[in-house]
């Protein structure tokens, strides 16, 4: 009887040491005598103590903050850029066996990729085409980490910090651009008005009665005004007629 008690205790210890509980968001990577053999899903898993070993890998999406990076744009402007990377493990066997520390490796690769991609663009594109830059960085990272069993789901550039002198230069450039557009709009308006006046003059020259109607309409506006002084415009043809009459009268004398 005394022999069975230690044996029973030993079997209980072996049984407890062979039981592993894997959470829903985890996967177990199994090594048998040092050799990678399989992956285990969530739930209670039994391994052979001393022969098998299991490493747990978190399968949830990880958030990796990329520290501020010094980037020189294509037009030789120095900026500081930081971003955040979202990724997850899709193949735990590759994530453990293909790279020593996939978290550190992904972080370092994200930093170098961010500098490389943004360095190919001008400063204005960094500020105005941020969505496209996010997509470019995400696609490159996802392609390079595919062999590690990593899936990069999203990259977001958070801040693009400029030197204060560059901020003032950009403000002056924007102001000059606004003034240029205002002058163009004003010139286009004057051109359209000149074209309309030219067309109106052509019509009035062809139809004298139209000019008379316009004259009568102007007199009506002056008559309805509340001022005490009324100035009546005299058409040029009337002035010419009066001048001719005066010339004839002068010649008869």
DSSP symbols for 24-36: TTEEEEEEETTEE
- Answer yes or no: is 24 within a domain: yes
99 and 38 share a domain?
A: no
Q: Kindly state the tokens that stand for 39.
A: 């992956």
Where do we find the tokens 């739930």?
43
pLDDT tens over the chain, length 253 residues: 566 667 677 666 777 778 888 999 999 999 999 899 999 999 998 888 888 899 999 999 999 999 988 888 888 888 889 999 999 999 999 999 999 999 999 999 999 999 999 989 888 888 888 899 999 999 999 999 999 999 999 999 998 887 776 666 667 777 788 888 888 888 888 888 877 877 776 766 666 656 666 665 665 665 665 655 555 555 555 556 556 655 655 555 5
- Answer yes or no: is 121 within a domain: yes
177 and 150 share a domain?
A: no
Q: CA-CA distance, 36 to 29, in Å (whole number)?
A: 7
- Answer yes or no: is 20 within a domain: yes
* pTM, entire model: 0.63
Helix axes 102-118, 130-145, angle to 10 degrees: 140
- Answer yes or no: is 143 within a domain: yes
- Answer yes or no: is 220 within a domain: no
Q: Among 88, 104, 87, 110, which Cα is nearest to 157's?
A: 110
Domain range for 188: 164-193
- Answer yes or no: is 243 within a domain: no
35 and 71 share a domain?
A: no
- Answer yes or no: is 157 within a domain: yes
Q: How many domains does the chain have?
A: 3
19 and 97 share a domain?
A: no
95 and 150 share a domain?
A: yes
CATH number of the domain bearing residue 129:
3.30.479.30
Of 144, 162, 180, the domain-final residue: 162
């Amino acid at each position: 009887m005394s022999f069975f008690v230690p044996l029973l205790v030993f079997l209980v210890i072996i049984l407890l040491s062979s039981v592993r509980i894997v959470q829903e968001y985890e996967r177990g990577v199994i090594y048998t005598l040092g050799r990678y053999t399989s992956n285990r899903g969530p739930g209670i898993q039994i391994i052979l103590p001393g022969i098998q070993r299991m490493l747990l890998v978190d399968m949830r999406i990880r958030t990796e903050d990329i520290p501020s990076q010094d980037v020189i744009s294509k037009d030789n402007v120095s900026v500081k850029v930081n971003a955040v990377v979202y990724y997850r493990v899709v193949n735990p066997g590759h994530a453990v066996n293909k790279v020593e520390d996939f978290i550190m490796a992904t972080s370092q690769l994200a930093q170098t990729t961010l500098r490389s991609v943004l360095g190919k663009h001008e400063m204005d594109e960094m500020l105005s085409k941020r969505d496209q830059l996010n997509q470019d960085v995400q696609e490159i990272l996802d392609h390079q980490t595919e062999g590690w069993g990593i899936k990069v789901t999203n990259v977001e550039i958070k801040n693009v910090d400029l030197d204060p002198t560059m901020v003032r230069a950009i403000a002056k450039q924007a102001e000059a651009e606004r003034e240029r557009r205002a002058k163009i709009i004003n010139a286009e308006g004057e051109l359209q008005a000149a074209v309309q006046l030219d067309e109106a003059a052509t019509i009035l020259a062809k139809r004298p009665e139209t000019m008379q109607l316009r004259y009568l309409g102007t007199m009506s506006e002056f008559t309805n005004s509340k001022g005490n002084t009324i100035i009546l415009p005299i058409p040029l043809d009337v002035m010419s007629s009066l001048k001719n009459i005066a010339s004839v009268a002068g010649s008869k004398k």
